[in-house]
Amino acid sequence: MARRNRFFVMTFWGQFLNYSVEHDVVSTIPIPQSPPNLTVLIDNDHVEFQAHPTPDECVPLRTYPDGLLRKSRSPGNSLKIRPAEFAGPYVLFRHGGLFLSVDDGGKTSVSRPRGLSWETFRLLNEDEYDRLSYFLTNSWYIQSQRKISRFDIDKPAEAFTFHIAGLRLPLETILECIPDSKSKEILIPYDTWILEKFTLFKPLVYYCSFGKEDGFLCLDIAIDTLRRHGAYDGDIKILSERSQEDLSHQYRSYSDNRVQVLEYIPLDVVDYMSARFDISSYEEFDQYQPILYLDTDTMINAPLTDVFSQALHDKQTTIHVFNEFDEPWTADYWGRELFNDDPGAIPPTYGFTTGIMLYRNLACISASLKAVRDTIMRQSSVWGTRHMLRCYDQPVANYVMHKFESLDSALMTANTRNFDMRLNGADNDTYDAYVSSLGEPILHFAGGVGAYDWKVGAMRRYQAWLDRSNQPNETPEDLLPDAFEPLENVALLHGPQAQSESL
């Protein structure tokens, strides 16, 4: 053994030795996302167990007559270390003729006269721990099984072997195949040579909201339906000029501990309009896959897990969009004038909204997102100011994405519907018949750039209908009224007014 090396200690059962501050004893825990608070310091063939109750503390542990390892006020007594019979970096710990052992219930003591399986441990350095923790604590899309699964880290994994979706993966195979703790696709063999692809399943939903209070009211409703009716328990990020504290005090949905408000100070209309494409500057987005952007005037009425899974199964598509119009060459809202002025561009067969976009991950789409903003700015330079624009974000995004990205409209078109705003003012029977027929999980209350009080009213009416009809698992204490005063004379909007929300 090299001198003065520090390691984390994995047991035969795939768990880690950890120091319980409350009980002053060494026990075991499943692999946590943050490292255990127990390490061993190796000095030649001697090992000292050390506890770290806080990041700044290092407390020696010693073996007591009952065989348990506890805190010591004096330097801890060292145990002898020797190679185990397992192949690879596996060891035994011995003190006074007895071996350190961990049974299948997690009891840890220096109590066994012979060193066999339960007395065998694997030492992991910090890099190995980070890679293993990343793999075992995340969810993964299993490519050949077409399903999402994760390791049951609370269940002991006998003989340093971990189980997921019916597959047995030895520890050494896992460490060999995972290059770092950021890999989003991993190929791992099982049963000696059969390969399986593990694709990271860590979805993110993000929004942008600025200016008008109506926009934040819409977003409060959007997040509420995403959580309760969409059964989404993942992370949510919001780009806004307002603070998390400010929004949390005013709206319940923003106080969710998995909602993070990221400061974004828009300087002008370009920033207001294209903030959704400016996420590459936030390192917080790098860890997620897939990533769904939603306008604040969207609502979710059913789980999105299948949508996310299908996006990951599609190996070619980098961005999934909602086909909003089949004749984009007839109007400028989907980039007609840009395609016409570019002799190298092939006109698309459909136009998509920028209010609903699903990316595989940030790395594969980052260059095109930046290109959308750059093109908007270059277009505005024709007028010599960023306060005058030739076209909004949606035409530019259609131009850039159709020309350079691998687009797919089938998935999101099958799962998205533009809510017919003409029905919002209908009587209850007509309204109930319409909303009962909606089979898509994503509804877009499109109708003009930005948020309006009538849009808030339309979303509230549908939210109340969802609460009455679906009876989600967690019902708010103050449900919205059963019916809202109908909003009269609200027409279904097309063209520039139907572009995605920006202000």
> C-alpha distances in angstroms, 483 versus 6, 179, 200, 431, 501?
64, 56, 42, 11, 26
Examine the pLDDT at 111 and tell me if it is beyond 80: yes
pLDDT confidence of residue 4: 59
Residue 384 has pLDDT above 90, yes or no: no
Average pLDDT over residues 395-407: 92
Q: Give the tens place of pLDDT for each residue, 475-501.
A: 333 333 333 333 333 233 333 333 333
Has residue 103 got a pLDDT over 60? yes
pLDDT of residue 419: 96
Report how far apart the first and last C-alpha atoms of the chain are (Å, whole number).
63
| pLDDT of 424 over the 80 cut | yes
Q: State the maximum Cα–Cα separation within the chain, in Å, rounded to a whole number.
A: 88
**pLDDT beyond 90 at 208:** yes
Cα separation, 401 vs 403, whole angstroms: 5
pLDDT tens per residue, range 154-198: 877 889 999 999 999 999 999 999 999 999 999 999 999 999 999
Whole-number pLDDT of residue 448: 67
Please, which residues have CB within 8 angstroms of residue 49's CB and are 6 or more apart in sequence?
17, 26, 38, 39, 40, 60, 61, 62, 69, 76, 79
Percent of the chain with pLDDT over 70: 88
Where does residue 2 rank: exposed (0-12), middle (13-18), buried (19+ CB within 10 A)?
Answer: exposed
Is the CB of residue 290 less than 8 Å from the CB of residue 312?
yes
CA of residue 105 relative to chain centroid, distance: 33
Q: What are the two backbone dihedrals, phi and then psi, of residue 97, each rounded to the nearest 5 degrees? A: 85, -5
3-state helix, strand, coil in the chain (%, to 5): 30, 30, 40
Least-confidence region, from 29-33, 43-47, 142-146: 43-47
Strands (E), 84-242: 90-95, 98-102, 108-112, 121-124, 139-142, 147-150, 161-164, 167-170, 185-190, 194-201, 204-208, 235-240
pLDDT score at 383:
65
Reported as half-sphere exposure (CB side, CA atoms, 13 A), residue 426 has a value of 15
What are the strands, taking DSSP E only, across 264-369? Answer: 291-294, 298-300, 319-325, 351-359
- As a whole number, the mean pLDDT across the chain is 87
pLDDT in the model for residue 83: 75
Query: Among 30-34, 64-68, 329-333, 469-473, where is mean pLDDT lowest?
Result: 469-473
Looking at residue 56, its amino acid is D
Q: Which residues pair with 300 in a beta bridge?
A: 442
| Mean predicted confidence (pLDDT) in 113-121 | 94
Share of the chain above pLDDT 90, in %: 69
Q: How far apart are CA 108 and CA 26, in angstroms?
A: 7
When mean pLDDT is compared across 143-157, 210-224, 310-324, 463-477, the lowest value belongs to 463-477
Model pLDDT, residue 388 = 61
State yes or no: pLDDT of 321 exceeds 50.
yes
User: Of the candidates 164, 168, 160, which has an alpha carbon nearest to the alpha carbon of residue 152?
Assistant: 164
Most confident of 33-37, 221-225, 445-449, 477-481: 221-225
Antiparallel, parallel or unpaired: β 291-294 and 204-208:
parallel
User: Averaged over 320-328, what is the pLDDT?
Assistant: 93
Sign (positive or negative) of CA dihedral 313, 319, 320, 323? negative
